[in-house]
Amino acid sequence: MTHKPKTVLIVDDDEGMRDTLTAILKRDYRVLRVSNGEAALPILNREDVDIMLLDVRLPGISGFEVLRIVKENYSLVEVIIISAISEVETAVQAMKHGAYHYITKDFDYDTMRSLVRNALERQDLNRQVLTLSAQIADQGDREFVVGPSQAGREIIDLEKAVKDGRFREDLYYRVNVIPIKLPPLRERPEDIPELARFFLRRYSARFHKRVEGIAESTMRILCNYWWPGNIRELENLIERLIAVGDKEWITDEDLPFEFHLAQLDNAESSASSESLFQEATNTFERNFILRALERSGWNVTATARYLGIPLSTLKFKMDRLEIRELARRLRGA
């Protein structure tokens, strides 16, 4: 049986470097290549990218901004940062933002091949954990759905599976270095985006609906919620939203009142009543513009006409409310 080759996305404004990396990797992988971050993000919406080789210094959106967006929205994509010079501070920043590794452009060819192989191996392990979690959840052991965080990978989500013959023992010992107690979901918010998307795929298929994803601002609300019911509450929420909804994207206005209340509670300790009112106003305005954008096919010019406001005013509001990049990506998708 022929296996589908893994996909590597090269993001570098240096054409010579793109050519070099392509020559090194094309024999073993499907290689996509772009010269900037703006061109890379729409590809992630329509292609199954496994590895991203990302230059730090790019025209337009910086490499670190691309890395942030990737890890927030496509957390299973492993990112290898490439820089023209060796800088300890840059390397540390890259790793803190979720990069798999950092390497300079004077790399050895074999080193690059090995680095990509190792990144893919870690990605496969993370995917196996998620798949196993789904299988166990379907059998009723729902507490074993954990997510891709360090705590999730090390959960004891796995001793039971090894004993039952559902997870390879050699992989278990590579993932489960130190058995730990899985903390509640509110203490590992990095798991929430991947788990939410996992449940979204499951229930979209189950209810035969085409739900593309969760808006960035909505995902931030989910990550800031306290989740007293842990993973089961998250799953129930996604199931309910898909069952009763008819939109391609889940947005802020779809969430129950308590989720918006949690945002205000989180802000009360450091915000005045005036700023809380402004936050509530921003939430309403953000939802209103998102609904208008969706109605207009994510076309900003058409949305401005629909709302009866100047295009420059709409763009200013979208920048202030941090939804312009979302609209650009969705329109490209």
Question: What are the tens digits of pLDDT across the range 123-152?
Answer: 877 776 666 655 555 544 444 455 556 555
Please tell me which residue, 223 or 268, carries the higher pLDDT value: 223
Question: How is residue 226 written in tokens?
Answer: 């306290």
With tokens 């941090």, the residue in question is 322
Contacts for 279 with CB less than 8 Å, ≥ 6 apart = 263, 264, 267, 271
Res 147: pLDDT:
58
What are the backbone angles phi and psi of residue 245, rounded to the nearest 5°?
A: -90, 165
- Of the candidate ranges 110-119, 279-288, 323-332, the one whose mean pLDDT is the lowest: 323-332
For residues 44 and 298, what is the distance between their CA atoms, to the nearest angstrom?
Answer: 18
192-332, CATH topology level:
Helicase, Ruva Protein; domain 3 (1.10.8)
Parse the chain into domains and list their residue ranges. Answer: 7-107, 123-182, 192-332
pLDDT at 73 over 60: yes
Res 276: pLDDT:
57
Region 68-88: mean pLDDT is: 84
pLDDT band at 158 (very low <50, low <70, confident <90, very high): low
With respect to CATH, is domain 7-107 assigned 3.30.2130.10? no
pLDDT at 162 over 70: no
Shortest CA distance to 187 belongs to which of 218, 224, 217?
224
Question: How is residue 31 written in tokens?
Answer: 């290689």
Region 57-81: mean pLDDT is: 88
For the segment 8-61, what is each residue's pLDDT rounded down to a tens digit? 999 999 999 999 999 999 999 999 999 999 999 889 888 889 999 999 889 888
Res 16: pLDDT:
93
180 three-state secondary structure? strand
Please tell me which residue, 28 or 230, carries the higher pLDDT value: 28
For residues 246 and 291, what is the distance between their CA atoms, to the nearest angstrom?
Answer: 13
Res 106: pLDDT:
86
Shortest CA distance to 266 belongs to which of 231, 310, 302, 225?
225
pLDDT band at 180 (very low <50, low <70, confident <90, very high): very low
Region 163-188: mean pLDDT is: 64
Res 183: pLDDT:
73
For the segment 272-290, what is each residue's pLDDT rounded down to a tens digit? 555 656 766 777 787 788 8
Question: How is residue 26 written in tokens?
Answer: 């094309």
pLDDT exceeding 90 applies to what percent of the chain? 20
Neighbour tally for 161: CB within 10 Å: 21
- Of the candidate ranges 2-6, 130-134, 221-225, the one whose mean pLDDT is the lowest: 130-134
With tokens 């808006």, the residue in question is 215
For residues 130 and 114, what is the distance between their CA atoms, to the nearest angstrom?
Answer: 25
